Structure 1
Amino acid sequence: MISLSSKELVGLIMAFIWPLTRILGLIAIAPPFGNSSIPRRIKIAFGIVLALIITPGIPPFINADPVSLSGVMILTQQLIIGLGMGFVMRLVFAAIELAGSMIGMTMGLGFASFFDPQSRGNTSALAQLLVLIATVLFFSLNVHHAMLIALMDSFKTIPVSMTLQNGFDFHRLAIWGEQIFIYGLKLSLPLIAALLLTNVALGILTRAAPQLNVFGIGFTITISVGFLILGMILPYLTLPIENLFQYGVETMQSLGKVIQHPLPPVVKPIPS
């Protein structure tokens, strides 16, 4: 008969609760797991299953009373780490949404917006189109597998402890926040440049033929050119989005200052 003391029982529970807290923090915010349309019970069940798989293979934890100040501190730190790792991947999709919003405003479709359950706000139709394309690529390129592998490796690079002195890199997380604007601009730049040339051409046409009602035909021309260019460049957006996913997973992996294991292959090539 197996007998456990109260101290050993508490240790086993904490060995499960602390990894579960980090996992649930990532699931709560990282797309697509953090989508509000997914029931909370499904998210919690998924986190428990991951914790049962990950816990036996991670380094041993320190002994701390769960109801003490140190135990609460460790629990809070694990939640912050999970939220930080999920926030990295959330910014990847935010950059894609920003690119779609910039394209929509340049085309004159800024008013075509609807409620987004992910961000719980109004987003443009083109932003949602790019997000749906990115979500398909997210699963087809196995980025969700790489994200879960990065989460498993984080227990080695950022071990469960009372301090984050040798683990979580908050500066790296803050620097990653600026990438939302850089990559959003890069993704939308080809179409913005094409629409800029279209507007310049319409301006020249207005000067050449003042009697022409540019306000009546300009809106139609801008939208038509926008959709035409978008259809032309859409197949070429696969590689930039793939690189953005790669960079996001690498950033999740590098949130631990000491990287012990190299990042495994993140994405599989798209079959031709």
Structure 2
Amino acid sequence: MPPVFSVTSDQLSVWLVMFLWPFVRMLALISTAPIFGESRVPRHVKVGLAALLAIVIGPTLGPLPAVPVVSLPGIWIITQQVLIGVAMGFSMRLVFTAVQAAGEYIGLQMGLSFASFFDPTSGGQTMVLARLLNMLAMLIFMAFDMHLMVIAMLVESFQVLPIANAPLAANGWMLLVLSASQIFSTGLMLALPLVTTLLTINLAMGILNRASPQLSIFSIGFPVTLLVGIAMLRLQLPHLGPFLEQQFAAVMTSMLQVIQALRP
């Protein structure tokens, strides 16, 4: 007679906890992280990837809290995992937001503020130049295997900040808010060479207009600004990769610091 395979309710509860709580943190990160969280990625792909990672990583985790899932402490743990995953994903989004901000600054100086279209990712109108730089940043992100580094950091987060019933520390949220200030500084640093050049061109045309009033600056100003902006952008793009590589490395360090600061 073949052996009878039986599963008790306690075993099912342990398996559910081992899968559900890591799955929630992973799904929150995948839904907000660059590349993975794009609106063009189907939802079932995000859920499937998070489930696959939870199945692989779940058995490697240490002892989990002996808390039923369908209980107030269990719901609190799920909420914590969502917050941790969103915090990690938001940390990675800072670089791409800074690149889009740089595209906005450059587009305004080049006179391309009217060249915008609906961006389904942000849910609003976005300048074409900002979208172009964002696409290049995504390609560089994948070229440096940063999407694999995000998954590796996600696995490491369970060692740095294990699943527990204890409340998260407030220092992590403060550090996350302070790191958001890098959006403006990094975006301005990226756009500063081109913005400075275009500002010099505008000042030169203003002086030329004062020296020769019969010269129509309005008819030649826009083509000159646009051509100079495209030329400067062509010179700056080869240096975009090394610049973003440093920013991605800094963001990884910042993400680890946020996780450590959230630890109670």
Q: TM-score, normalised by structure 2?
A: 0.94
Is the Cα contact below 8 Å between 1:115 and 1:123 reproduced in 2? yes
Aligned to 2:82: 79
SS of 1:130's equivalent in the other structure is helix
Shift of 1:39: 1.0
Shift of 1:5: 2.4
Residue 158 in 1 paired to residue 171 in 2?
A: no
Q: How many residues align?
A: 260
- Stretch of structure 1 that moved more, 232-241 or 179-188: 232-241
- Stretch of structure 1 that moved more, 187-196 or 86-95: 86-95
Is the Cα contact below 8 Å between 1:158 and 1:167 reproduced in 2? no
CA distance in 2, matches of 1:105, 1:44: 39
Is the Cα contact below 8 Å between 2:198 and 2:225 reproduced in 1? yes
After superposition, what is the alpha-carbon deviation per residue over 1:191-246, rounded to whole angstroms, capped at 9, x for unaligned? 00000110111011101101111011101111111001110111112111111111
Shift of 1:38: 1.1
Shift of 1:2: 4.4
SS of 2:259's equivalent in the other structure is coil
CA distance in 1, matches of 2:196, 2:74: 54
Residue 9 in 1 paired to residue 12 in 2?
A: yes
Query: 5 Å matches for 1:94-105?
Result: 94-105=97-108
Show structure 1 runs of 5+ residues with no match: 260-272
Residue 169 in 1 paired to residue 168 in 2?
A: no
Shift of 1:185: 0.6
SS of 1:88's equivalent in the other structure is helix
- Stretch of structure 1 that moved more, 58-67 or 20-29: 58-67
After superposition, what is the alpha-carbon deviation per residue over 1:133-182, rounded to whole angstroms, capped at 9, x for unaligned? 11111111011111111100000111101124469821221111111111
Show structure 2 runs of 5+ residues with no match: none
Aligned to 1:119: 122
The structure in which a higher percent of residues are helix is: 2
SS of 1:202's equivalent in the other structure is helix
SS of 1:169's equivalent in the other structure is helix
Matched to 2:134, the amino acid is V
Aligned to 1:237: 240
SS of 1:122's equivalent in the other structure is strand
- Aligned-pair identity in percent equals 41
Distance 1:150 1:77, change over 3 A: same
Distance 1:126 1:114, change over 3 A: same
CA-based RMSD of the aligned residues comes to 1.7
CA distance in 2, matches of 1:109, 1:126: 8
Shift of 1:8: 2.4
Is the Cα contact below 8 Å between 1:114 and 1:122 reproduced in 2? yes
Aligned to 2:27: 24
Matched to 2:37, the amino acid is G
Shift of 1:117: 1.9
